Amino acid sequence: MPDAGPIAVLPHRPLTVGELLDSAVLLLRAQARVLVPIALVLAAAEQFLVLQPLRLAAGTVPPIWWMSGGSFGTYWLLLAAGAATEAMIIMLLGNPAARAGAAALLGRTTLPGEVLRPAGGRWGGTALFMLVVGVLMYAAAFCGPLWFVGFALLGALAPALVVDRVPLPRVLSRATALATRAGLRAGMIRLLGYLGWWILRVGLASGIILGLPRLGLIDDYWALPVALLVWAAVNGVAYPALACLDAVLHLETRIRTEGLDLLLARAPAGTPEPVLLAAER
């Protein structure tokens, strides 16, 4: 893969914010047939099994499910649960996304399913930190503005596990350290990416859900299941896109602040990929 140019997923140089967002989209396009199906299943489970019962209890109405009655406490519980589940899904998808991003940085395109192989995937650690992310984001969402801090700091957990390969006790500190470097640059870009996809998700899902009945394409009986499916479909693209942003942002931050590009250029020929990219050699 070339080190520069529009088709490079990860050029070996620091990137602008726009280039980072483009790189994330390119990585998603390359891994869509692996990441999107998994994300669709997880997003559907989130909508039907986790959020919908809470929406009913909170007295919300589609398509955006603002509170129109019921308990404000239950509605706040719904918001916190949504923040936790989506962060957990992005964390889980971050594992294969980070593996694909690392391969792209080294000039290699991964085969379908390669990024899901158990060997080298540290899936046990991923499951553990997915639960950690869920608990932290659930608690942060209850505190309102703390959600922004939590989301900004936790994006590098999956890449720190599978790319940097740091020991489990150091994964959280490694992720937060990378997010706060250069004036919280990585953390703020992660928030920017989330905001952009949130606006797109709300606009697209609401437009489809409100437009279908007005065009006479669905009746009232199908309105709710269609709304849930539309939200699952939109999130099924947004979640892997955010996971890919985490992957490229992590590697670019290492290039920018740790000279990863120079380390790769100076590494002896034949050095195994995990050793090339490990944070501690």
In the chain, which ranges are E strands? 60-61, 66-67
pLDDT band at 70 (very low <50, low <70, confident <90, very high): low
Q: Give the Cα separation of 224 and 234 in Å (integer).
A: 15
Taking residues 97-106, what's their average pLDDT? 95
Between the CA atoms of 259, 173, 131 and 226, what dihedral angle is there, to the nearest 10 degrees? -50
Q: How many CB atoms lie within 10 A of CB 201?
A: 16
- Say yes or no to pLDDT of 175 above 60: yes
- Say yes or no to pLDDT of 121 above 60: yes
**68, amino acid identity:** S
Contacts of 31 (CB under 8 A, 6+ apart): 96, 97, 100, 110, 115, 240, 244
Cβ–Cβ < 8 Å for 8, 22: no
| pLDDT at site 281 | 55
Output the DSSP codes for 141-183.
HHTTTHHHHHHHHSTTHHHIIIII---HHHHHHHHHHHHHHHH
In sequence order, the β-bridge partners of residue 66 are 61
* H or E stretch at 231: helix 220-258
Cβ–Cβ < 8 Å for 230, 202: no
Q: Phi then psi for 264, rounded to 5 degrees?
A: -65, -40
**243, amino acid identity:** A
pLDDT band at 8 (very low <50, low <70, confident <90, very high): low
HSE, side-chain direction, 13 A CA sphere, residue 8: 17
Distance of CA 101 to the CA centre of its chain: 13
Q: Which residue has the higher pLDDT, 269 or 175?
A: 175
The per-residue pLDDT for range 226-268, each reduced to its tens digit, is 889 999 999 999 999 999 999 999 999 999 999 999 999 898 8
pLDDT band at 2 (very low <50, low <70, confident <90, very high): very low
| pLDDT at site 1 | 37
CB-count burial class (<10 Å; 0-12, 13-18, 19+) for 131: exposed
The per-residue pLDDT for range 179-210, each reduced to its tens digit, is 999 999 999 999 999 999 999 998 988 888 88
Output the DSSP codes for 49-78.
IIIHHHHHHHTEETTTTEE-SS-HHHHHHH
Taking residues 165-185, what's their average pLDDT? 96
In sequence order, the β-bridge partners of residue 67 are 60
Taking residues 118-136, what's their average pLDDT? 95
pLDDT band at 57 (very low <50, low <70, confident <90, very high): confident
